[in-house]
Amino acid sequence: MSEPIEEQDEYVPDPVKEKQAKAVHFMVSMIRLLGVALVMLGLAIVLDRLPPVPPPVGYVLIALGLAQMWVAPVWIIRKYIQARVAEEAIAKAAENRDVS
């Protein structure tokens, strides 16, 4: 950041990477939304709003829904970032190999 703003290269987004990022964002949003639905279903079962289902099933659904809302998105995003970093490292290595 020592260069003046006028001399810095302009950022040009890669449309393919942006499309991948949007797809990951949409997938994470849907997973979180389904997690909320599982928690709500589990609460309905635990509170006897669905009589033929035993309460322990509701507790399991609540636990799965909470994991789906908090653990799964973080794991998916980390895997996506690891893949992007590995992809950039491979591209940089190939570029350095071509220059040498």
Cα distance between residue 34 and residue 63, in whole Å: 13
Q: How far is CA 80 from CA 19, 35, 42, 69, in A?
A: 13, 20, 30, 17
- 70-89 confidence digits (pLDDT tens): 999 999 999 999 999 998 89
Q: Which residues, in sequence order, are CB contacts of 5 under 8 Å at separation 6+?
A: none
Question: 3-state class of 50 per DSSP?
Answer: coil
**Given pLDDT bands bounded at 50, 70 and 90, which one contains residue 67?**
very high
Q: Which residues, in sequence order, are CB contacts of 35 under 8 Å at separation 6+?
A: 65, 66, 67, 68, 69, 70, 72
Cα distance between residue 47 and residue 75, in whole Å: 31
CA dihedral 11, 16, 17, 20 (to 10 degrees): 150
Mean pLDDT across the chain, nearest whole number? 89
